[in-house]
């Protein structure tokens, strides 16, 4: 993952959650509602899309092991909706998220390897990822494992 200056204030460069949130704001654009100390809405700020900057910030968050960034980037790179498609990088992001315990990434990879979707079919890898998800209580993974064995 890249690691050059993002021109963020120094206080945010080492906070993966802040990098993720800011990256998503840039990728998606939209509204931010500000509230005062009592939780009362005071202003609405409109955030312009800047997908390139958002992608960079998400990659920074992912390089700091932010699982939400890894999962988002994984799906985006595989599907290519907002970011340029890069299936290998997408699979790599999801593998890392799966190792950090993200059940959705584990299920996606298990099914991908089971059916050969975006990756070569590999039942042993499918079982590996489905077992990870099953250990976290995924009924889908348990059923898939029964059907694969």
DSSP letters along 4-62, please?
S-----HHHHT-HHHHHHHHHHHHH-EEEEEE-TTS-EEEEEEE---HHHHHHHHHHHH
Residue-wise pLDDT for 82-125, tens only, equals 999 999 999 999 999 999 999 999 999 999 999 999 999 999 99
CA–chain centroid gap for 149, Å, is 30
Residue-wise pLDDT for 125-136, tens only, equals 999 999 999 999
- The rounded distance, in Å, linking the Cα atoms of 137 and 142 is 8
Cross-strand partners of 109: none
Q: Which residue has the higher pLDDT, 45 or 104?
A: 104
Q: Please name which of 64, 65, 91 lies closest in space to residue 76, comparing C-alpha atoms.
A: 91
Residue in the block written with tokens 């959705």: 104
The pTM score is 0.82
- The rounded distance, in Å, linking the Cα atoms of 149 and 58 is 38
């Amino acid at each position: 993952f890249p690691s050059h200056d993002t021109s963020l204030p120094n206080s945010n460069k080492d906070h993966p959650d802040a990098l993720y949130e800011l990256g998503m704001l840039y990728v998606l654009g939209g509204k931010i509602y500000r509230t005062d100390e009592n939780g009362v809405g005071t202003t609405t700020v409109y955030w312009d899309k800047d997908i390139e900057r958002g992608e960079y910030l998400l990659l920074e968050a992912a390089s700091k092991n932010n699982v939400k960034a890894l999962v988002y980037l994984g799906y985006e790179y595989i599907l290519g909706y907002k970011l340029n498609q890069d299936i290998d990088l997408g699979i790599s992001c999801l593998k890392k998220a799966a190792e950090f315990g993200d059940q959705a990434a584990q299920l996606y990879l298990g099914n991908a390897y089971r059916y050969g979707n975006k990756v070569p079919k590999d039942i042993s890898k499918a079982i590996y990822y489905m077992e990870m998800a099953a250990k976290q209580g995924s009924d889908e993974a348990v059923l898939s494992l029964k059907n694969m064995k």
